[in-house]
A and B are shown apart, each in its own frame.
Chain A
């Protein structure tokens, strides 16, 4: 079946039952084997970075909660990290714990959501229904603590906006205990299932070297044996003060990714319990802050991996520039390493296995020269980017990050 004439292009997307969001994958297949893959990710550019430049620093986190349907805490806290980096301030201990609680609750419901979707993709709807059932109380808990199932509007630069209602903590602990039992059972069932093993082991393998080459992050990297996690590498919030283990696997296949996420659920519950027990007193934010001229970078471990925000300030009360690099942005290209040569059925679960989130990733620019001239390739784009970086450094009066020839 290696006859090029038998090649067909199968378009997965922009509308397809596999996808919750519009994205286009063009899979070139020979029979059932995928030989080439191309992605189009420019269907729902929301222009949120631009919008953020017209909001004050207090308003931006609320806007950024809308970047992703799931990672609402991720992007707003990551932005706060960037501005706090610019300011060079430390947030109060209580705020750090509250941010940790929010972040781990988000990780819990995000991972449970993924487990369900993965089950659905391989035709295992029972797992889908059960794990989404387990996810519900987590969202309820989120609402109980913040007033909303998704968007808490809590993070602000220098801490959090409101305190958590301490009187709900016993109920929160009860929900966590229940969830711990349920997810332990789910994890055991998934690890035991011979059909799941046959279906997922050795599928969509992203080897350690390839993972390094593509610079993947989050569970995708940890399943490939890379012990990378911002919470451990550059601890923020309360992660340095609570006990938790970094979950890694060496296989790099879809099964390993599922296992990493399932075990991370248990770790999240562990972190949450400690946070509920040890929540310190004191202020929850630093009050009004003046943001001077300068630039800052925020890193945050989202459920899908490392999120990076870059903020540049010109001394006014609005950021001059905000750049968001969502974790899926670096995870999606790794499909070139993990999908080629695999049968169609395996490719689709592999696409889903890095838990891609497309609307957060929408920063794509499609280059098109209507006159048919040559398009700039990677070297030209890289050179342009370096020139711009050097210009920025000159404008801000700081030494350039790298020496240009």
Chain B
């Protein structure tokens, strides 16, 4: 019988073991596939948008409006030769790109794209609700930089090494304010879980970006620096370091670095939206007059905000020249860290004085 495997599947789905084992895996696969597609089209959107900002066309030849360009690019990168320099440190060279991509993708498993199920059987819009999700996110986000440092060192190329060095310095200056910026919302929500933080904003009836505007700003600037994006794209500054840490990489491994950068952009945006912009909540969640906005599902709000953030990333690239290395360090140590520390202090005082915590 040609349908027998389907019958088997139908039977298997009913088993409790199946749900336990395969449902999260399937969910994660779907999420990853969606993210890959999102990244591919994010690259495309960036190129078209930059084209618009820079009075040129951008890719428009492959498929209608150039929509198949990302697919063509992926195919090209997949079939390209994967070169390894003779005197590279082989294991590190091979490991580095994976080290960039993997943490970025794992973070998606704790990001709540939508609300927790209100009724039994309703979809749950996150893979898992980790109770220490925020710490998990910060820890994994900083892991990604090791891939860049390792890649720069293992390539045995001066440009790569300088790129890796810059990356290390950048990490040291930007991890700290970024972590500190997340402490404010954490205190307001009284929860480390990302779902809990969004629910905290629902309780407060206000996106945390309003009371935590300073932390929001610090987080975003640090986020741009962490993703090595313009104007902080020093580790790969083209005119200085050729291609920085990925000078020697080609083919799939180069694609992985590329993927990592864009996945990180989405991660930074998703975390910023979750922590500061109310995640799946509509604008002004406490204003009753705007209740009709709830007709739009929470997931749509979430992605709308993420896209707005990604647009900001691209807009930045079209608007700012690259900073110099010491200016970048100045900004991190002399401005962002004191600012975020002050924010933590003030928030803590307010939380203690006003309502002794939630």
Which residue of B is nearest A127, CB measured? Answer: B321
Q: How far is the CB of A56 from chain B (nearest CB, A)?
A: 43
Bound-state Cα–Cα, A126 to B55, Å: 9
Chain B residues touching A, range = 20 to 34
Q: How far is the CB of B136 from chain A (nearest CB, A)?
A: 33
Contact partner of B162 (CB less than 8 A), chosen from A17, A32, A127, A195, is A32
Which residue of B is nearest A129, CB measured? Answer: B54
With A8-B158, A198-B327 already in contact, the answer to whether A120 and B322 are too (CB < 8 A) is no
Asked if B242 lies at the interface with its beta carbon under 8 angstroms from chain A, I say: yes
Bound-state Cα–Cα, A115 to B327, Å: 23
Contact partner of A348 (CB less than 8 A), chosen from B158, B239, B321, B323, is B239
User: Do the beta carbons of A199 and B321 come within 8 Å of each other?
Assistant: yes
Chain A residue numbers with a CB within 8 Å of B237 are: 123, 345
Q: How far is the CB of A398 from chain B (nearest CB, A)?
A: 49
Which residue of A is nearest B50, CB measured? Answer: A125
User: Do the beta carbons of A130 and B54 come within 8 Å of each other?
Assistant: yes
Chain B residue numbers with a CB within 8 Å of A345 are: 234, 237, 240, 322, 324-325
Which residue of A is nearest B239, CB measured? Answer: A121
Q: Mark B305-330 against chain A: 1 for CB-CB distance below 8 A, else 0.
A: 00000000000001111111111000
User: Do the beta carbons of B56 and A196 come within 8 Å of each other?
Assistant: no
Asked if A383 lies at the interface with its beta carbon under 8 angstroms from chain B, I say: no
Asked if B231 lies at the interface with its beta carbon under 8 angstroms from chain A, I say: yes
Q: Mark A2-27 against chain B: 1 for CB-CB distance below 8 A, else 0.
A: 00000010100000111000000000
Chain B residue numbers with a CB within 8 Å of A128 are: 54
Asked if A137 lies at the interface with its beta carbon under 8 angstroms from chain B, I say: no
Q: How far is the CB of A233 from chain B (nearest CB, A)?
A: 35
With A195-B323, A199-B324, A345-B325 already in contact, the answer to whether A122 and B239 are too (CB < 8 A) is yes
Q: How far is the CB of A258 from chain B (nearest CB, A)?
A: 12
Bound-state Cα–Cα, A348 to B325, Å: 13
Asked if A346 lies at the interface with its beta carbon under 8 angstroms from chain B, I say: yes
Which residue of A is nearest B318, CB measured? Answer: A126
Contact partner of A17 (CB less than 8 A), chosen from B54, B242, B323, is B242
Which residue of A is nearest B169, CB measured? Answer: A32
Contact partner of A18 (CB less than 8 A), chosen from B230, B240, B326, is B240
Contact partner of B322 (CB less than 8 A), chosen from A32, A122, A129, is A122
User: Do the beta carbons of A195 and B321 come within 8 Å of each other?
Assistant: yes
Q: What 18 new A-B contacts, CB under 8 Å, besides A125-B50, A199-B324?
A: A17-B238, A123-B233, A123-B238, A123-B322, A124-B320, A124-B321, A124-B322, A125-B54, A128-B54, A133-B56, A195-B231, A195-B321, A195-B323, A198-B323, A198-B327, A199-B322, A345-B240, A345-B322
